[in-house]
Amino acid sequence: MQSSPAPAFPPSLDAQSLIGTYIRAKDENRPHRMAHAFAPGAVLEMTVKSEAIAFPARSEGLAAITEVLVRRFGQTYDNVYTLCLAGAPPAADADAYRCDWLVGMTDKASGGVRAGCGSYAWTFGGAAGERRVQALEIVIEAMEVLPADAALPVIDGWLARLPYPWCTAAQASAAAPALAGLEPVLAYLRSAA
């Protein structure tokens, strides 16, 4: 008797796995994984406090959220590392969770580096076996643009070496390269540590 193969990405319904699934879907440009993280009627609200990046203030539904956070994002950026800055991930059955985040990536067209930080506010829910992200609020506090020669120290030398995707602000701050262009991000990390 042959057994059927396990699905490549089995849905994990605890809060930590839902967040991790979203992070990997975005960072690895895998839109098909978003359905494992977000409910069909989920809502995304974004507050952007930087002119270096733009997102719609509100997106409703899995398709719209996937378009904004994965498809369009993946058309512009690669080498993406997103870190949830938290002492501990959420409890498996958490209904809500807040944490700071840090991101770095390269611009596909220019090779330039973007490094940013802000906060996430997650809301989880759904019937047993169907637990997903119901709402996500993202605040972008800073998004800095650095030249292409910053890719090695920022992406390879810093972000790729941090614990992924859960890291503390203190760990991230302590390992950061000394680049003047990162100062707004580093100031945020120091305040969050």
User: Rounded to 5 degrees, what are φ and ψ at 119?
Assistant: -135, 155
Q: Is 156 a domain residue? A: yes
Q: Which CATH number do you get for residue 45?
A: 3.10.450.50
Q: Is 6 a domain residue? A: no
Q: Is 23 a domain residue? A: yes
Q: How far is CA 65 from the centre of its chain?
A: 13
Domain count, the chain: 1
Task: Indicate whether 1 pLDDT > 80.
Answer: no
pLDDT of residue 12: 61
Q: How many residues does the chain have?
A: 193
The sign of the dihedral angle between the CA atoms of 54, 59, 62, 63 is: negative
Q: How do residues 132-173 score in pLDDT, each as one tens digit? A: 999 999 999 999 999 999 999 999 999 999 999 999 999 999
| % of residues, the chain, pLDDT over 70 | 94
Q: Could you tell me the CA-to-CA distances from 10 to 7, 17, 33, 128 in Å, in that order? A: 5, 11, 10, 16
Q: Is 10 a domain residue? A: no
Confidence of residue 102 (pLDDT cuts 50, 70, 90): very high
Q: How do residues 4-32 score in pLDDT, each as one tens digit? A: 444 444 456 899 999 999 999 999 999 99
pTM: 0.92
Q: Is 32 a domain residue? A: yes
Q: Is 63 a domain residue? A: yes
Higher pLDDT, 6 or 86: 86
